[in-house]
Amino acid sequence: MNAFRVIKSLFFIVSGIILIWITVQKIDYSDFNLAIQACYSWKVFPILITSIGVVLVRAKRWQLLFKNQDVSVSITTLFHVLNIGYLVNFAVPRLGELSRTFLLKNNQQIPFKKSIATIIFERLSDLIVLVFILLIAIILEYFLQYGVITHLVSGVQLNRFKVLILLGFLLVLAGFIIYFWTIIKEKSGIWAQELIHYFSRLITMKDKQAFLVLTLGIWVGFYLMTMLWIFIFPDTTQLSLYACFEVMLVGVLARTLPIQAGSAGAYHFAVSNAFIYFGLTQSKAFTMALMIHGFQSILTILLGILSYIWYIYQQRNA
């Protein structure tokens, strides 16, 4: 199993590096310098506030899930634990969720099963919303007779190399699923029954409306984190709200790939091509993708480090 983990990690790391290299090759550095200069303005402040606000809303939603498990934990603690988890995910995808359970166990003595149940529930909820939004995008594209998703799919021309890459990805994905299914079967028993019990309590929660409102707020924040960037650069102000919606969706889909550094490479490639479809030049499109991803990456690292310092301080004073 260790060999499988190494192969999987190497596969996604190499894929990300290749896609980043493709991105960098297509950037005119005069556009990049102008973009950097534009970021030294008050226009970045709303993006910063929105990004932090999304984490706060996620912390509030997580607090609501714990409330339905009869667990009391402050939103401040959950905010910092989320930031640390995102930092861990930035280095090792999917490990951040597990680290959150350990942090809460050490800091708040919350049982692993209760934490894991809330994390699985919120992940499944976000997945359902993502599928729903994707269906909306497909329907809109059908009636509008155009759209970035249709363009990206129709523009794919397969050759032997691309088929091999696709088959390799599917094999890795299949191995990933089989690996976790084996673990679930091995660990099934009383532990799994208790986890299912905690999860079922969340399904029958009393605060469903509040949970839905907070979930909607998170996804509105995701949209704003993309849309607000178009007001920073003169060449992007002509983009429509629908275009921003499509770019946001493509970016979220790219971030679901387990690639280090926030799906680096995959995000740049997908988002830049979406911007190109909506009229940006190749250089400006790749610059936009690089700026959006770079800003969020820096913020993730800074918040993660500050939250880890907070966590260490809390542990020493406990």
Please, which pLDDT band fits residue 188 given cuts at 50, 70 and 90? Answer: low
Average pLDDT over residues 7-27: 57
Q: Average pLDDT for residues 4-10, to the nearest whole number? A: 53
Domain ranges of the chain: 2-312
Using 50, 70 and 90 to split pLDDT, how confident is the model at 21? Answer: low
% of residues, the chain, pLDDT over 90: 19
Span 114-127, average pLDDT: 85
Of 87, 54, 81, nearest to 304 by C-alpha is 87
Q: Is 200 left (phi over 0), alpha (psi -120 to 50) or beta?
A: alpha
Q: Span 264-277, mean pLDDT? A: 81
CA 307 to chain centroid, in Å, comes to 19
Q: Which of 13-27, 251-265, 300-314 has the lowest mean pLDDT?
A: 13-27
Whether this prediction's pTM lies above 0.85 is answered by no
The mean per-residue pLDDT over the stretch 197-207 comes to 68
Average pLDDT, the chain: 77
For residues 181-206, average pLDDT: 61
Q: Which residues contact 94 (CB under 8 A, 6 or more apart)?
A: 258
**Averaged pLDDT for residues 79-87:** 93
* Average pLDDT, integer, range 216-234: 88
Position 292 confidence tier, pLDDT thresholds 50, 70, 90 = confident
Q: What is the pLDDT of residues 134-165, one digit of tens each?
A: 888 877 776 665 566 555 555 445 455 555 66
Residue bearing the bigger pLDDT, 72 or 15? 72
How many degrees, rounded to 5, is the angle at CA 87 between CA 86 and CA 93? 70
d(CA 184, CA 114): 17
pLDDT recorded at residue 125: 85
Give the pLDDT band of residue 276 (cuts 50, 70, 90).
confident
Instruction: Name the percent of the chain lying above pLDDT 70.
Output: 66
Of 310, 264, 307, 272, the residue nearest 289 (C-alpha): 272
Tell me: pLDDT of 192 over 80: no
